[in-house]
Amino acid sequence: MSLKEVLNLTDSAGSGLVANPAADDKIGVSGVFKAICFAPDGSVRWEDEISNLVVTVGKNDLLNKYFTGSAYTAAFYVGLKGTGTPAATDTMASHATWAEISTYSNATRPAFTAAAASGGSTNNTASPAVFNINGTATVAGLFITTGSVPGGTTGTLFSATDFASSRSVLNGDTLNVTYTISC
């Protein structure tokens, strides 16, 4: 009897490419406020940093200005918000759940002066909005609008937010607010 060994050699190679035919890039708009309250002696009384709600009318305004080429104004202002929760449906003319706080001596709401955008973000860190407080008030949050008149109801509300808890400001305080918006 004879034994016969058989050895079969095979070689194979494979490759593949998985492609994603659909782009998956999304754009969202978000912002973060940072507020620092200075006492008259220059010491920091409190500071807070909070994300905001970009309201529907603010999103529509951004889309209309950029994509449909409607009239554009580059003036934005920072406002102080009283207690009450902001809603996506809020406008400057109708924000029934909260009121504006205007206990400051500025003739207008402080301007939001943004730097050139970079990396999908811009801010006013180089030029904070400064409120010169001239009384005692409780500030619950902040907002951005195109209207400059303290307590005014015209202009477009862009965003609004509440601090984690309401904050007190006193006569002689200075409140510096920066805002970073990203998409």
In this structure, are residues 113 and 180 in contact, taking their beta carbons and an 8 Å threshold? Answer: no
Nearby residues of 31 by Cβ (< 8 Å), 6 or more positions away: 51, 52, 54, 144, 159, 161, 179, 180, 181, 182
Evaluate if residue 89 carries a pLDDT over 70: yes
* The total number of residues written for the chain in this structure: 183
**Cα 84 from Cα 96, distance rounded (Å):** 9
Instruction: Return the percentage of the chain with pLDDT > 90, whole number.
Output: 67
The predicted model scores a pTM of: 0.82
Q: Tell me the sheet residues that pair with 80.
A: 101, 142
Task: Please give the residue that has the higher pLDDT: either 17 or 154.
Answer: 154
> Given this model, what pLDDT does residue 107 score?
97
Pick left, alpha or beta for residue 151 (phi over 0 → left; psi -120 to 50 → alpha; otherwise beta).
left
Q: How high does pLDDT run on average in the chain?
A: 88
| Model pLDDT, residue 7 | 47
* Per-residue pLDDT tens digits for 19-57: 555 656 667 888 999 999 999 999 999 999 999 888 888
Give yes or no for residue 147 having a pLDDT over 70: yes
**Residue 7, both tokens:** 């050895």
What is the rounded average pLDDT of the residues 143-171?
A: 95
pLDDT at 63: 81
